[in-house]
Structure 1
Amino acid sequence: MSPKINADFCVRCKGSKMLCGLKRCPIVERIKFSTRLDFGRLIDGFTPPSSLVSERGYPRVLVGPTVSQIEPDLPENPKFWISKDLSYIIARFSSQIYANFRSHIRNIDDPRLEELRFSAMSYSPVGINVELVRIPKPRVSFDGILAPIGPSAPAERIKLTENPKIPSSLERAFYDSDVRASEIIWETYNRGVDVYAISKILSLGGLGNRARRKLVPTKWAITATDSIIGDFLRREIEYLPIYSGEVMLFQSNYEGNRYFVLIAPGPYMLEIVEAWMPRGLWTKGSDEPVVMLNSEIGRLGLEYMDGGHYAMRLAILEKLASMKRQAAVIAIREIGPEYYAPVGVWQVREGMRAALRSEPLKFPELGDAMRQLKLRFDLNLLIRSLRIPKILRGWISLEGFLENL
């Protein structure tokens, strides 16, 4: 969803004076990037490879490939996108056409879906020929979970002009039709396939028991993949030794998103803090930051469903698995007004992964580490709201008592 700005500002500004306070005008960005290419009804191009299953009209959903008229200059993997700024990301997706058709979620044998499925599994761009019902309108849609969606139009015909190059691990997962989707997702992830490829094939009805396969809206598939893999990782981590080193503080930044991760000695616990600064993407009418807190403590999972939180959780669990330790973790995402257009939950996952790859600062106590956080909202309010520091104080005292018996 694009930012909502008072129309009076837009009319007076016309994207030149930036009266709304943003660094760039999202309306100008959309028009500029969507009109650079000459869209027609017949398209010979490439599928990056990517596809989209919309939830609109569920269970009869829109599904189809995104088609670029130029060969993509970056792999279809958000690990590489995180090095680019927002204007590049918007430009990249503004130039891709979403050629779609409507299908029932249970109609996974539709011949059009078969070609789409194989193209989505390819690790490199695939040539594609598309005939559209009408010329697409130059419009870009934004969503908090999905990457930006370029101009769209119904497709009359979709035909691959090249053979997709499918990794054997994904091909094996597709043809293994006697297992539950959650089990094959975990097995495929353990073979080195990242969540992006897995969620695409899950969305297109290509994983799990054959009788139960169905199309899954892309945004649901993304969160489901993060959640399923995260649950498996958590179960493994809870049997690992408890981390006993210094408190570590990891940090990274991406286009107004600031990520902080604190890893402290203790049993596995997770608290996620999301703080939207005033006059930002979703807080234009607020003079105060909006702070949300989500927890995974004890046997309970995250307290409410949020795609960004599951993406952060996955990156954290991957880090603990690589450390071969369980630990108490506080993760903070602070979002400023510089983040003027949502480009998808991938940047949350990759921003968190980037933070956890950084060289950490180390402190003897959790309180020392928290005092080093350079936040733009009230740290004292945050400390009072968090449960992990209180739990760890009691846990450390109990540990010391047991050691002295």
Structure 2
Amino acid sequence: MAYTEEAEEMRKIPAELCVKCKGSKYLCGLSYCPIIERFRSFINVVQGINVNDKSVNGSSPPSVVVGERGYPKVKVMYNVPPNVYGDEARKYEDPLGWWGKATLSDIIGYRSGLLSAVKDQRIEDPWSLYEKEISVSSVSQKPVRYDVLLSSTPDAKLKFDGVIMPRGPSAPLQNIKVNDNASLSRTLEKLIFDDLKASEAVVQAYSQGEDIYKLISAMSMGLLGVKKNRKLVPTRWAITSVDSIIGTFLLGKVKESTRTIDSVSVYYSSYLGNYFHIILYPGNYRSSWIEIWYPLSLWSSETTVVELSENFWGKYEYMDGGYMAARLAVMEKLQKEDIQAGIVIIREITSEYYAPVGNWHIRETVRKAMENKISTFDNVSEAFSFVQDRLKDKKVNLFATRSVSDLVKQKKIEDFFK
């Protein structure tokens, strides 16, 4: 069962099941009906609109999304929970607060409770948004009140994306007014006025403790970079870009370390139907990403295994946003402990994850995993056998994957002298 026709197709659940169920028998196996929940949230959003002038008031978490369709003319979406004010609005976009507490249903409920007011904007013109303080409000540390005037009533669609968080109903924006002063960190406020390359600004802010989610918003809204070159960046691109910039910066620090681990360690965490095992093994840096998509999970009707490898020099086979999010989390661990290691990240995606909520949950779950070492071994074969026994589907053979096979067969120089 899913919130959109597209997601329903991905899960391959027959439509006749919904017809038989009618939202009351839960024949799809879920404990509630997502279709009913979606429209309940939609009704709440619509009821928050003043029918006389199509106005909406509320505090944004803050939440602003820049779309990519039509680039270089894009849609900027200002997300507001109608008639929700102050700190209560935080829960509508709060990855750090959600993790381990909010269910998939909770998160989708929060997101479907946001109204997206949509404005067309050329990427070369972030300055007109500066003038109205809209850009700055998007990186506020506190919720910011918006007064929104719509051109028409919203549609009834809930938009899903595999990288960014879902959004609720949307409607064209006629006018928007920011009624609160944005509360910015000193670091970010300084960098907004600096004439510094965006990548350098991201690294500097991250190194000074800036929230990565604020950096994504700042990158997306064109708040960072050499001033004459600043542009809006589609949020999907900004997420992967920030993960990549920070991850590559940390990788440079990790490769400077002369210390390597002396045993094979396995780390683990899970959330929202995603299960992560991270294996660190002795040696210079190299990394492998293995995703196992089970039947009725997103994008797959049968068990599918996908791999990606990255070498010592940071060259990888293709760009993957999920891998970049996970890689950053592992790099944080290695850099903090000043060690170098080889890495294998194994992600299992089960049917529990029936709707995408963005890459944030990958980043945060791997961060949690790196705090949870569950076992150590003398060699990688033992570690992979251990993880193999813990897989949700024992028919999946890790040793048949290219990444694992290469590692198990790999000989070290000392092996030739035995």
TM-score, normalised on structure 2? 0.89
Q: 1:275 is matched with which residue? A: 292
Deviations 1:48-106 (A, max 9, x none): 01101011211111113211231325384412111211111011111111112101100
Letter in 2 for 1:319: K
Tell whether the 8 Å contact from 1:271 to 1:386 is kept in structure 2 after alignment: no
Structure 2 gap segments, 5+ residues each = 1-5
- Asked if 1:140 is matched to 2:155, the reply is no
Aligned pair in 2 of structure 1 residues 91, 391: CA closer, same or farther (>3 Å)? closer
- Asked if 1:115 is matched to 2:129, the reply is no
Letter in 1 for 2:365: G
How far, CA to CA, are the matches of 1:52 and 1:244 in structure 2? 41
Aligned residues: 398
Deviates most, 110-119 or 211-220: 110-119
Question: Cα offset for 1:239?
Answer: 1.3
TM-score, normalised on structure 1? 0.92
Tell whether the 8 Å contact from 2:296 to 2:354 is kept in structure 1 after alignment: no
- Asked if 1:197 is matched to 2:214, the reply is yes
Q: 1:171 is matched with which residue? A: 189
How far, CA to CA, are the matches of 2:410 and 2:398 in structure 1? 19
How far, CA to CA, are the matches of 1:305 and 1:21 in structure 2? 34
Question: Cα offset for 1:283?
Answer: 2.0
Question: Cα offset for 1:34?
Answer: 2.2
Q: 1:49 is matched with which residue? A: 62
* 1:74 aligned residue (83, 91, 110): 91
Letter in 2 for 1:234: L
Structure 1 gap segments, 5+ residues each = none
Question: Cα offset for 1:387?
Answer: 3.4
Letter in 2 for 1:99: A
How far, CA to CA, are the matches of 2:375 and 2:68 in structure 1? 43
Q: 1:228 is matched with which residue? A: 245
* 2:352 aligned residue (326, 338, 348): 338
Aligned pair in 2 of structure 1 residues 281, 26: CA closer, same or farther (>3 Å)? farther
The CA RMSD over aligned residues, in Å, is 2.2
Deviations 1:259-318 (A, max 9, x none): 11111111101101111111222223x3xx111011112335221121111111111111
How far, CA to CA, are the matches of 1:23 and 1:273 in structure 2? 30
Deviates most, 24-33 or 209-218: 24-33
2:69 partner SS: coil
Tell whether the 8 Å contact from 1:259 to 1:333 is kept in structure 2 after alignment: yes
1:3-402 residue pairs with structure 2 within 5 A?
A: 3-4=8-9, 5-37=13-45, 38-40=47-49, 41-69=54-82, 70=84, 71-74=88-91, 76-83=93-100, 84-111=102-129, 114-177=132-195, 179-284=196-301, 286=302, 289-373=303-387, 374-378=390-394, 381-387=397-403, 390-391=406-407, 394=410, 397-399=412-414
How far, CA to CA, are the matches of 2:134 and 2:375 in structure 1? 46
Tell whether the 8 Å contact from 2:380 to 2:408 is kept in structure 1 after alignment: no
